[in-house]
Amino acid sequence: MKILLAEDDPLTLDALTACFEEEGFHTLAAPDGKQALELWREHRPQLLCLDIMMPEIDGFEVCRRVRAKDPLVPILFLSAKNEEIDVVAGLGLGADDFIRKPFTRAEVMARIRAALRRSQPSNGKGRCIRMRDLSVYPDALMAERGGHEIELTRREVSILELLHRHAGLPVSRDAFLDECWGMDYFPDSRTLDQHVLMLRKKIEADPAKPAVIATVRGTGYRYSEV
């Protein structure tokens, strides 16, 4: 899933790009509004995060132009301009949310997940994959068991999707690292194991006896439907 991030402060741009990538999103980073529009036209990301005060074209104008072509893609403003008039102007142009600087990583990711959920079809969850008694909604970044909702990161969803596609077969560690982290990143097996450990705590009925994500010693992990 692609996020377009437009921010003229290089430190903030780098920090947010790293944050989004760690959460499993592919980030299209733009230092100004002109490049943001070019990236949007070329890649059509699933969500936009826009600063307001940017060179070339400001965030308000980027939002206006995108909304004229796409009324549904989620757009969030990230800005130090936090007066009520700025918030009202941003929302009036069709933005879905306005996040005031300074903000925390947890707040930004929570608002992104909420915006993505709202952008899904009328059931609010979108497509569903079944993994035993677990319902996984990749587009909404969540799972559900017995009516209890479980919030997931983009990378956790990628891990579950990969296992589901290869149900019954062992998936190698290299396959996880290539698909869920990408060829441009070089995490090690310990990174994968830590993510799986945390994911099991979220989705397994009994994390000590995992049924959804089984370990295949010397290879990787497997999901078995039976």
Q: Considering the domain delimited by 129-222, tell me its CATH architecture.
A: Orthogonal Bundle (1.10)
Report d(CA 160, CA 163) in Å as an integer: 5
State mean pLDDT over 89-116.
87
For the chain, what are the domain ranges? 2-118, 129-222
Is 129-222 the same fold as 2-118?
Answer: no
Q: What angle do CA 37, 43, 44 make, to 5 degrees?
A: 75
Q: What's the confidence (pLDDT) of residue 75?
A: 94
Tell me: the pLDDT tens digits for 144-192?
A: 988 889 999 888 999 999 999 899 999 999 899 888 887 556 666 688 8
State mean pLDDT over 188-213.
90
Domain range 2-118, CATH class: alpha beta
pLDDT band at 120 (very low <50, low <70, confident <90, very high): low
Q: What's the confidence (pLDDT) of residue 121?
A: 58
Report d(CA 11, CA 55) in Å as an integer: 16
